[in-house]
Amino acid sequence: MRKLLILSTALTTVGFAASAEQVTVMSWGGAYGVSQVEAYNKPFTAATGIPSTMVDSDNPATPIKAMVEAGNVTIDVADVELSDAIRLCDEGMLEVIDHAALPDGADGTPALEDFVDGALMSECAVANIVWSTVFAYDTTKTSGVKSLADFYDLAKYPGKRGLRKGAKANLEMALMADGVPAAGVYDLLATEAGVARAFAKLDTIKSDVVWWEAGAQPPQLLADGEVVMTTAYNGRIFNAAVGEGKPFEIVWDGQIMDFDLFVIPKGTPNKDAAMKYVAFATGTQPLADQARYISYGPARKSSAPFVGKFKDDKTDMGPQMPTAAANLSNALANDFAFWADRDTELSERFNSWLLSN
């Protein structure tokens, strides 16, 4: 008994000592989470001695408000989309990050100029990658799929479709599939008629949709043969296709590009360590290293020369990025302001639409 007491006291003390300096990062799990552990967390702990933990979530933006409001913040850094970063910053849920204090690029460019346009848009966030929502299909089940219109063409390409269970990206893609050019999508979506048109287009495939929530699901649905085509995060499909040799093909037509950014929830007990982590992880080299594990583009210009081959040392990562010239012919940049303002409302509308028959 006495031994047990001493032991447990000792353990508790160790626990407290450790909690003085540590970082818990919440990200999206799967292949993307692995890339961050390899490129950010491990080097960060090696360089600073601060232990770092990775936690998975379907969307790390959602637990933040609950944590901050309950006064029980258990996450020190979260990886979120741009519109969510702006929305949460608007609602006072995030710590402000001093962008000027971020390290210079490897080539000596000051941080404020080194990041690509929009990457430092929110004063509460620092971007790490450019990713995109694309759709992909199984080449053994169907072929010749070229455009978003084909995704919605059940007569020509029969079979189930996978879509993310949410309004974001689905509405834009529905409009583009309906013939709206990328440049006009958000102007149209701002109107009631545009939203109605998007839902009407979604209606045409509603009964054939399998809804996914976690980023790791779509490659699984394709591999299981549950769907013949699915929207997905481009990196997940790349990893399944190149990393695991699955017969998947990405269609870049109508891709929707977005940033993922690091934010720090307000009231985290490890604010200093969190700031150190964000500064380290968004440095030139870690961002470039990240691209070795998954096909997401680094948010710093100075990282580009360091982006080389996939971890198999054969595949060139350049052409796999959402920002590669060949992939940009009909691409849409996610309108963060639109979604920051209208996410709540359109999510509820989407939900009603999903549940009504």
Partner 1 sequence: MTHADQPDQGQEPELLRTADGLLLQTALNRVSRRAKIKAFLLVLPLLAFILVSFVAPIGQMLLRSVNNDQFYSNMPELTLWFADKEFGVEPDEMAFTALAADLTFAAKERTAGSVGTRVNYDLPGSRSLFTSAARKAKGLNPPFKDAFIKINKDWVDPELWAAMHAASATYTSSFYLAAVDRKRDTDGSIIQVDENRRIYVQLFWRTLWLSGLIAVLCLLLGFPVAHLLATLPMRKASLLMILVLLPFWTSLLVRTTAWMVILQGQGVFNNILVSLGIVADDNRFELMYNQTGSIVAMTHILLPFMILPLYSVMRTIPPSYARAARSLGATSWTTFRRIYLPQTIPGIGAGGLLVFILAVGYYITPALVGGASGQLISNQIAFHMQDSLNWSMASALAAILLAAVLVLYWLYDRLIGIDNMKLG
Q: Which residues bind partner 1 (CB under 8 A)?
A: 62-63, 65-66, 87, 89-92, 158, 160, 210-211, 224-226, 340-342, 344-345, 347-349, 351-357
Is 121 within 8 Å of 82 (Cβ atoms)? Answer: yes
Q: Which is nearer to partner 1, 218 or 322 (CB)?
A: 218
- Cα four-point dihedral sign 234, 29, 282, 265: positive
Among the listed residues 153, 125, 102, the one whose alpha carbon sits nearest the alpha carbon of residue 340: 125
CA distance 74 to 159: 42
CB of 242 to partner 1, least distance (A): 24
Q: Which is nearer to partner 1, 271 or 301 (CB)?
A: 271
Q: Which is nearer to partner 1, 94 or 332 (CB)?
A: 94
CB of 137 to partner 1, least distance (A): 16
CB of 352 to partner 1, least distance (A): 5
CB of 163 to partner 1, least distance (A): 11
Residues contacting residue 321 through CB under 8 Å, at least 6 positions apart: 130, 291, 295, 296, 297, 307, 327
Q: Residue 115 — φ and ψ, nearest 5°?
A: -75, 145
Q: Which is nearer to partner 1, 331 or 354 (CB)?
A: 354
Residue 44's Cα: distance from chain center in Å?
A: 21
Q: Which is nearer to partner 1, 58 or 178 (CB)?
A: 58
CB of 200 to partner 1, least distance (A): 11
- Cα four-point dihedral sign 40, 46, 47, 53: positive
Three-state secondary structure of 272-292? HHHHHHHHHHCCHHHHHHHCC
Q: Which is nearer to partner 1, 147 or 204 (CB)?
A: 204
Count of beta carbons in the 10 Å neighbourhood of residue 9: 10
Residue 228's Cα: distance from chain center in Å?
A: 23
CB of 240 to partner 1, least distance (A): 17
